[in-house]
Amino acid sequence: MFNKNKNQKGFMMVELIVISAVLMIIVIAASYVAKKSIEVSSRTLHTMQAGFLLEEGAEVMRVLRDTNFDNVDPAIEGSSNQYLTLVSGTWSLVDAPQTNGIFTRIINIYPVYRDSTTADIVTSGGSLDIGTSKITITVSWPEGTETLSKSLSFYLSDLF
């Protein structure tokens, strides 16, 4: 009987080691899932914020167009990267990089060319349409070890 009790003590020790190993695996897996969940949530939040900054940039460009089309004239397209800044309640484009938290929003203004027969916008050839500009807004931000970005392109015409 003494030997049986000694074997039971040894078996209990093995059970404790197995239970400890299983619990450690569960804790490690749970912490990995929590870490990944936080990373995905952070990336989703930043992507949504970038989308809002793109929308805001498009609205500001429309306001600048409505104020004076020269604000979005392709003539200022020569300096490839423009940045939006708000000074005393007035939006304007500047050459100096502007950041909003971790986000950088870049505005590029391109001339638009149209086919002389169909008046369709073309990527090469055609005649310059001085009343239309192509706007590309790009928002970029650091995410971990990489830099992510979202872009929005649209056309603005001189309506007034």
* pLDDT over 70 percentage in the chain: 90
Bridge partners of residue 85, in order along the sequence: 92
> Is a pLDDT exceeding 80 seen at residue 109?
yes
Res. 3 pLDDT band, cuts 50 70 90: low
* Mean of pLDDT over the chain: 88
Torsion of CA 14, 17, 23, 27, to 10 degrees: -160
Relative to beta strand 103-114, strand 121-122 is antiparallel
Could you tell me the two tokens for 125?
Answer: 């050839």
Which whole number is the average pLDDT over 52-56?
96
pTM for the complete prediction? 0.77
